[in-house]
Amino acid sequence: MPEPVSPSASPSRASFGRGRLLRAAGALLVLLAVAGYVVVQYLSGGGGAPRCVARAGDDAGEGSSTYEMTPEQAANAATISAVGTRRGLPERAVTIALATALQESALRNLDHGDRDSVGLFQQRPSKGWGTVAQIQDPVYSAGEFYDHLVKVPGYSRLPLTEAAQRVQRSGFPQAYAKHEPDATLLAAALTGRSAASLTCSAPSGGTPGDPAKVRAALTRDFGAEVRPADAAHEVSVPVPAGADAGTGGERGASVAGQAGGSDGSGGSGDSRDSGGSGGSGGSVDASTASPRGWELAHWAVAQSSALRIDKVTYAGRVWRAGRADQGWQRADGSADSRTSGADVVRIRTAR
């Protein structure tokens, strides 16, 4: 006959219950700690994934329309815009292209899609849009979209969804319409009509930037009229007189490199920038500066994560990766004020 087991010989149900309760409480504390950290980092502007925000107009205050995106999306949007204005197309064409890419790929350069569709506009090699490699080049795919768009009679006067559908031949022709407000906001910033209206946060640390890559990207997106010169850490982009976005004709900008640290601070110079709120006025009225200049400045900010750009100066304003949550600030003091007039965009890479 088996001997009875005493209560002390095996764990009780009560002890099991206490163990589960303690583990659950511990897990809850960990989750609360993580959530608290995320909230603090978000509110303080520190940490977290990099992001870009376009606002509806210069010095837009709280409550203004905004569109938030990842650096990848911002870089692709900036390329789409640059390809359009490089061809002398109006802002409306850029808006149609951006709305289409928002619907087709959410501004991501996809390597997959419905059937053989790929890229920003989900173009199909089997339908004559090009090879897979070509379509996954954002400059090529945007160019193909514009080539087809300009063949649509009166496209700039058509409802956006109809103009986009004439190009795309989508199975969901009304889907483009819902992206028009965001595309309109983005186009205003990226063509330069809306000054100081795009800002991005950038990851801290990492590898230094390469001015040669910035110059190559400028040439890739804006065309051969951009002629960069060798430089260390910085690229200076003179804005041609009377060069406005989307006014017709090829619009070029000569690029001359300047030595790193040309802000007179040996590469630091942070303390010489104004601590004022983002978007405060500078020595040059940002709202009256050239749209072409703001197009180039916003392009550089949108590409900041990919190209490791940490500072952009234009029209008396300065954007810094380390102060991205403060937007475009007044460039006050040192060489920033003396050389950041409306005729020059200065782009500095991370060291």
Report the percent of the chain where pLDDT is more than 70: 65
Q: Which two tokens stand for residue 258?
A: 């300047």
Residue 243 pLDDT: 61
Produce one character per residue of 230-262: b if its CB has 16 or more CB atoms within 10 Å, e if not.
ebebbbbbebeeebbbbeeeebbbebebbebbb
Q: For 145-158, what is the mean pLDDT? A: 97
- The region of weakest confidence among 8-17, 24-33, 65-74, 334-343 is 8-17
Residue 63 structure tokens = 């409550």
- Comparing 5 with 293, which gets the higher pLDDT? 293
Give me the residue label for tokens 């930037």.
209
In this predicted model, what pLDDT tens digit does every residue of 107-117 receive, in sequence order?
999 999 889 99
Measure CA 16 to chain center.
Answer: 53
Please report the pLDDT score of residue 340 as a whole number: 46
Predicted model pTM: 0.75
How many residues make up the chain in this entry? 351
DSSP labels for 53-111?
EEESSTT--TTS-EEEE-HHHHHHHHHHHHHHHHTT--HHHHHHHHHHHHHHHTT---S
Q: Give the list of residues 6+ apart from residue 270 with CB closer than 8 angstroms, or none.
A: 320, 322
Residue 251 gets the label, from left (phi > 0), alpha (psi -120 to 50) or beta, of beta
Average pLDDT over residues 262-275: 33
Contact (Cβ atoms closer than 8 angstroms) between residue 347 and residue 237: yes
Q: What is the pLDDT of residue 190?
A: 98
The secondary structure of 218-286 as a DSSP string is HHHHH-TT------SSEEEEEPPTT--TTSSS------EEE-TTTTTTTT--GGGS--SPTT---SS-G
Query: Residue 129 above 80 pLDDT?
Result: yes
Confidence of residue 319 (pLDDT cuts 50, 70, 90): very high
Task: Give the 3-state secondary structure of residue 44.
Answer: helix
The answer to whether the beta carbons of residues 107 and 120 sit under 8 Å apart is yes
Query: Where are the domains positioned within the chain?
Result: 67-190, 203-349
Q: 202 pLDDT exceeds 80?
A: no
CB count within 10 Å of CB 339 equals: 17
Which amino acid appears at position 135 of this protein? I
